Amino acid sequence: MRVEDVDLAATQFLGMISNYVLWPALLVPGWEVSAERVAQVVDEAVRTTTARYAVS
């Protein structure tokens, strides 16, 4: 991977995860996410970030 702006990349990565896992839990009454779904969301964030910053 080649990441020129580490802060931006980290913020984007964490944003993808927190957008589904954290924020709804804070704002939507009764929002629950299974451990399996969290793992899926994290995996997708890793795959997206890897695709964006992969060196070809």
Average pLDDT score over residue span 43-50: 97
What integer pLDDT is reported at residue 4 of this predicted model?
93
pLDDT bracket for residue 56 (50, 70, 90): confident
What integer pLDDT is reported at residue 34 of this predicted model?
94
**CB-neighbour burial class of residue 36 (10 A; exposed 0-12, middle 13-18, buried 19+):** exposed
What integer pLDDT is reported at residue 52 of this predicted model?
95
List pLDDT tens digits, range 7-46.
999 999 999 999 999 999 899 999 999 999 999 999 999 9
> Whose structure tokens read 């451990």?
35
What integer pLDDT is reported at residue 19 of this predicted model?
94
